[in-house]
Amino acid sequence: MRKIHISDSNSKNTFVHFAPIKAPSNPVRAFGKEKVFSKRLLLSGENSDYDSLSSKYKDKLPQILLEEDPELDLELIGRPIEKTNTVFINKENEIMKLAPNWIELIFDKDGNEKDRRIPEDKLSNINDELPIRFTKFKLKREDAVRKFVFTRTLQLWHSDGLTFEFLFNIAKELDENNEMMLVGSGEKGRDPLIFQNNGLPWRAFLEGRVQDDSYALLMRLSNLELKSIS
């Protein structure tokens, strides 16, 4: 298990283990007594796509399509696709032998491009010298699920009696108040969590559940906030 450095509301901190919670298996898809499955099939070859045909036949393409069906490569169409490899191509559809330089596009809330920049390396910050900290931002559980889309869930685990007590007390406080607590990284505890180098930044909310002497301390991760359309 990987570790995360985290502090509680009293500024006590320690390293604890965490592990992702796996989503339940998808229901079996079937039609009658037969199982239904997905299969990737080849639709066309490189010489029978629209751009190639348009370049070859130009204005005659509509009539050629009606009379000769050049887009149907009977040697290729319908073949199953097993393994694939990623390749980069340029605007002339030529395979690039060197990977391109990545450019990060920044869009505003209306979807308009407002900036371009070279991506900066983002280092993981969950195991730093500075612990993940509580913020002052709390939400009732029923409000949190209406305000944020939680796409990943991690469970924090103890490794000894001291970390058990540490995590149990956090879970108990949250459970008794029916609240979820936003936690953050950095000197002021306001930065999002990055779990691996150049990984996605996440907003992280702690949720606790306690039953007798047992607890579950969950870290709900979100990078999408729900907002009403004005």
Half-sphere exposure of 16 (CA within 13 A, CB side): 28
Q: In terms of DSSP H, where are the helices of 14-123?
A: 50-57, 61-68
Task: Give the integer Cα–Cα distance in Å for 144 and 138.
Answer: 9
Q: What does the block give as tokens for 75?
A: 């040697």
Q: What is the pLDDT of residue 110?
A: 82
Q: What is the pLDDT of residue 230?
A: 59
- DSSP element (H, E) containing 198: none
Q: What does the block give as tokens for 132?
A: 């993940």
Can you give the pLDDT of all 230 residues of the chain as single tens digits?
A: 799 999 998 889 999 999 998 877 778 888 888 889 888 898 887 788 888 888 888 999 999 889 888 888 888 888 898 888 888 888 887 888 887 888 888 888 788 899 998 888 888 999 888 999 999 899 999 999 999 999 999 999 999 999 999 999 999 999 999 999 999 998 888 899 999 998 889 999 999 999 999 999 999 999 988 877 65
Model-level pTM? 0.70
Task: Give the integer Cα–Cα distance in Å for 212 and 204.
Answer: 26
Task: Give the integer Cα–Cα distance in Å for 142 and 146.
Answer: 7
Structural domains of the chain ordered from first start: 2-25+122-225 (2.40.290), 41-80 (no CATH)
